[in-house]
Amino acid sequence: MVAQVDVLIVDDHPLVRNGVRMAISDKLDINVVGEADSGLHAIQMARMLKPAVVLMDVSMPPGISGLEASRSLAHDRATQGTKIIMLSVHVDDDTLFEALRSGVSGFLLKDSPPEKIVEAIRTVAAGGSVLSPVLISTVIAEFARRPTLSRSQEDGLENLTSREFDVFKLLVCGYHNEEIAKTLVVAESTVKSHVQRLYEKLRVRDRVQLVIYAYEQGLITMGQSAWQKLQTDRWPDPV
Between the alpha carbon of residue 167 and those of residues 38, 81, 213, 214, the distances in Å are 39, 22, 15, 13
**pTM (2 d.p.):** 0.65
In order of start, what are the domains of the chain with their CATH numbers?
Answer: 5-141 (3.40.50.2300), 151-231 (1.10.10.10)
Beta bridge partners of 36: 10
- Residue 82 has phi, psi (to 5 degrees) of -85, 130
Decide if 49 contacts 6 (C-beta within 8 A): yes
Tens-place pLDDT, residues 30-46: 999 999 999 999 999 99
Contacts of 209 (CB under 8 A, 6+ apart): 100, 101, 103
When mean pLDDT is compared across 19-33, 47-61, 140-154, the lowest value belongs to: 140-154
Q: In angstroms, rounded to a whole number, what is the distance separating the alpha carbons of residues 91 and 58?
A: 9
How many other C-beta atoms can be found within 10 angstroms of the C-beta atom of residue 235? 17
Q: Which amino acid type is present at position 23? A: A
Give yes or no for residue 234 having a pLDDT over 50: yes
Tens-place pLDDT, residues 165-211: 889 888 877 777 888 899 999 998 999 899 989 888 888 777 767 77
Between the alpha carbon of residue 233 and those of residues 71, 194, 212, 228, the distances in Å are 34, 23, 18, 10
